[in-house]
Amino acid sequence: MSRSAWWIAVVVTWLVVPVQAWACSCIQSPKGLVGTLKEARDQAGSIYLARVRDSKSPSERFATVDVLQTFKGSIQAGDVLKLPYGRGGDCVLSLPPGQTWLIYADVDGPTEVTSCSRTRRVDPDDSELKWLRTGVLPPVPVSLQREIATCELCEINVMAGRLLVPPGVPPAGSPSGWNGVAESRWKAGQPFFTYAGMNSGSVLGISQEGRAFELTDTSDGDPVQRACQRRIQLRWCKRLAFEKESRFTSGFRCVDPGEPQELCDERRTRKAEWLPMERLPHGGCRWYRPDAPTCYLSEARFPFPAGSPALPVLACHALSPGRDGAAYTCEVKLAPEP
């Protein structure tokens, strides 16, 4: 059977990985910035700043950290601790070597740390560090301004699906699952694509012409995520190599990739509009970072009272196109958007 014909018989399946195996679900109370910070400080047993030690092969179970400064608890600067280490699943922290982290540990001990706490990577000028050191709160917004955007969408699954079929044919829409499904198609030389890893912005596969490829969403590294910013790049590979599948990675690797080619860039068709200032919703934001919360906003807006001080303002970017986007990434700003 020719390669251009037998693809019709290919049933592309998606493995439904049991969520309990690696997912993390955190219960967060809907408080404002000030309430969130004070609650985290009061409930923590230890709060400290630590640097993850450099290591070429960090432990699969623990990461060694050097305590740089303490804000609460019995530990001291200079202490060396071993923290649970993972890939972000099961609420275990992912702690890349060399990074500096602000640690909120449980009352059970300074090494009892999960991703459901306020624990996160920080920079030296982080406003939460200043608050812990001096008691001076970060800027607290009093108003909100939201951006809405529309564009022609770049969907990595659609881009990959088009490579699996002849021109003019609707794309194959689902990736091949793990548990050997993608591996078996690769060994048979059949067209397929699969995610490179859990929460990965890359997919790898074999095109309908038999060429190995890698697609990457290069917008994953943007400091602020917002609608209509995705950029998909294609690199043809000399071949795909398969090493070992795990619950975090597909096991595939692109060998000798070529120069990246732009397949799709939502920014080229992006049209954005900033809406007038509105009142800050009560309990609608999750303040994981004091300067950049994630907010869940209803389509209904409540105008900000005329003549009232409106700064600082929470500038919010919709994560999905259109006016009905519910999730927004926000930034605390000292001046309104145009």
Q: What CATH number has the domain bearing residue 129?
A: 2.40.50.120
Question: Cα separation of 205 and 162, whole Å?
Answer: 12
Question: Two tokens at 37?
Answer: 């910070």
Residue 20 domain flag = no
Q: 253: buried, middle or exposed (CB in 10 Å: 19+, 13-18, 0-12)?
A: middle
β-strand partners of 273:
148
**Residue 226 DSSP code:** -
How many angstroms separate the first and last alpha carbons of the chain? 60
| Nearest one of 126, 329, 125 to 224, comparing CA atoms | 329
Q: Rounded to whole angstroms, how far apart are CA atoms 161 and 263? A: 13
The reply to whether 17 falls in a domain is: no
Single out the residue in 227, 250, 269 at which a domain terminates.
269
Q: Name the pTM for this structure.
A: 0.76
Among residues 71, 104, 134, which one ends one of the domains?
A: 134
Measured CA to CA, the distance from residue 49 to residue 110 in angstroms comes to 12
Q: What is the pLDDT of residues 96-138, one digit of tens each?
A: 889 999 999 999 999 999 888 999 999 999 999 999 999 999 9
Domain count, the chain: 3
Asked if residue 228 and residue 205 are part of one domain, the reply reads yes
Q: Which domain holds residue 286?
A: 143-149+271-333
Phi, psi angles (nearest 5°) of residue 73: 105, 180
Structure tokens at 237: 């590979």
Query: At which of 269, 284, 304 does a domain end?
Result: 269
Question: Do 170 and 244 reside in the same domain of the chain?
Answer: yes
For residue 53, how far is the Cα from the chain centroid?
Answer: 23
Per-residue pLDDT of the chain (338 residues; tens, 9 = 90+): 333 333 323 333 332 333 333 456 777 667 899 999 999 999 999 999 999 997 655 556 788 999 999 999 999 999 999 998 765 456 888 888 899 999 999 999 999 998 889 999 999 999 999 999 999 999 999 999 999 999 999 999 999 999 999 988 888 767 777 668 888 999 999 999 999 887 678 999 999 999 999 999 998 666 668 899 999 999 999 999 998 877 778 899 999 999 999 999 999 999 999 999 999 888 789 999 999 999 999 888 899 999 999 999 999 999 988 766 689 999 999 998 87
- C-alpha to C-alpha distance for 220 and 222, rounded to whole angstroms: 6
244 in a domain, yes or no? Answer: yes
Residues 228 and 294 in one domain: no
In a domain, 166, yes or no: yes
28: in domain: no
Within 8 A by CB and 6+ apart from 19, the residues are none
CA 187 to mean position of chain CA atoms: 32
Bridge partner residues of 80 (DSSP): 66
Whether 23 is in a domain gets the answer no
β-pair partners for 25 = none
Q: Give the per-residue pLDDT at 337.
A: 83
Selection from 48, 49, 47, 51 nearest residue 99 by Cα:
51
Same domain, 205 and 288: no
